[in-house]
Amino acid sequence: MLNLRRLDSASTVVRNTLRWRKLRSMLQASKRRLSDEGAKHNPYVHTHSSNARVVGAEVSGNVKVVPVSKYGGITHITVLTGNSLIGKQGAKYVKAILQSARVPVEVESIGVDEGEEYFNSVLRTRAALHIDIVHDKTEKKKSLRICSDLDLYVFMTRVRSFKGFNCRFPNVDIQLIAQNNMGQSSDLEYSPVEGIVEGLHVVTREATERFLRFALSYVRIRKRKRVVLVHKKSEWPVSEGIFVDIATALHQKEFPEIELELMDLHKCVGLVILNPNYFDVILTNDLYGTFMATILSGVCGGSNLFSSVEIGDHHAVFKPLQTKLSLTNYKNLSPYGIVATCVELMLYLGHINCASALWDQMMRSMCEGIKTAEFKGKDGGEYVICNIMNQLQCKMFDDTDPNKPKESS
């Protein structure tokens, strides 16, 4: 007699085997397609995938590393602008601020419609400012490709409370560090049958360990003490589990002096809203990075107050957090986010005293009650920038070089 239960089990195995063979074939085809597209679009980067190939230069992962673009003591940076009011406004702010701060930086402006020139420019300069809000589907895809091609595997933003700027909690200072180009950014999905779509969340141990080592090293260098690792291991025990397990092992082995706490995403969100002073550093993967940035910035007054950076081993793209989150409910680009972004850029380039002078002037303007309309003020963005610039220019009469370390008394 034919065993129907065994036959049904065997047919299930066959169907699953065929399904995974089809999936493996699709992944291989996707890698070949991405490789071909990379070769067409750019001579340096041949693919987005993990087995990337680079022709004729120093290789870092899937990125060709060119020499630092510093000529005659002047560092070159890329500024991505747009045709929108916000893009033009931001470019004007950036150039005026850098000139007033007397930073030895030369700006190379690239429009969003110049295609591959933006990627090639960032490849040369290694540092870029992206100041136009991207909300178009095509432009967002280009932005993701930049992160992938330049291997910008870390997203960071620091949110703080400023008195009189819509924050209900004093003394908040939270550093968010998240993965940036893994998981959902892999862009792998397929339809096995009509009406059903499956997407792949690809996680590798090597990339996860690299990110976590970078994050914990950054915490150690910045002398922060406490890290909360946000996850949803209970719902995704494998993909989230490997993230938690590697973090725990790495912490015990290499970073025992840092206090590490594991926290579920839902609990973290509730605690951020009710008691943000509980947190020092929040560490998470790319599934929750922008989500957590939105919650944190909202608690501390709004994303238009803060900056963000997408960074790799050799390249970095700085953005106002308002730009990173693609928030289109603002008619103008906030001057505070632009100034904060310029400060982070100067620190990255090593111009510490220039960054400190610019930050001090922004804090002075805030303390004097100079506010834009979104913070119940009567001043325009141009006025805020001009006020900061005037104070910086007044310091030009001081004989002290802004980049020269101050002598201790």
- CA pair distance 307, 345, nearest whole angstrom: 10
Higher pLDDT, 395 or 251: 251
In a domain, 39, yes or no: yes
pLDDT at residue 344 is higher than 70: yes
Q: What is the pTM of this model?
A: 0.79
Per the DSSP assignment, residues forming a β-bridge with 59 are 64
15 is a domain residue? no
Domain match, 30 and 137 both: no
Closest CA to 272 of 347, 380, 161: 161
Determine the pLDDT at residue 101: 79
Domain boundaries, position 106? 66-152+307-399
- The more confident residue out of 121 and 308 is 308
Whether the pLDDT of residue 22 is over 70: the answer is no
Contact between residue 80 and residue 133 where contact means Cβ atoms under 8 Å apart: no
> For residue 55, what pLDDT is reported?
31
Residues 108 and 226 in one domain: no
3-state class of 196 per DSSP?
Answer: strand
Greater model confidence, 15 or 264: 264
Q: Which of 176, 103, 170, 149 is nearest to 324 (CA)?
A: 176
Judge whether 102 lies within some domain: yes
Residues 97 and 144 in one domain: yes
Picking from 324, 326, 320, 291, the residue whose alpha carbon sits closest to that of residue 304 is 320
Tens digits of residue pLDDT in 139-187: 666 667 777 788 899 999 999 999 889 888 999 999 999 998 765 555 6
Q: How confident is the model at residue 49 (pLDDT cuts 50, 70, 90)?
A: very low
pLDDT tens track for 355-388? 999 999 999 999 998 988 888 888 888 899 998 9
Alpha carbon distance 381, 332 (integer Å): 8
Distance CA 385, CA 84 (A): 19
- pLDDT tens, position by position, 117-127: 778 888 888 89
Q: How many CB atoms lie within 10 A of CB 134?
A: 22
- Both structure tokens of 169: 């909690």
C-alpha–C-alpha distance, residues 137 and 353, integer Å: 39
CATH number for the domain harbouring residue 345? 3.40.50
pLDDT band at 90 (very low <50, low <70, confident <90, very high): confident
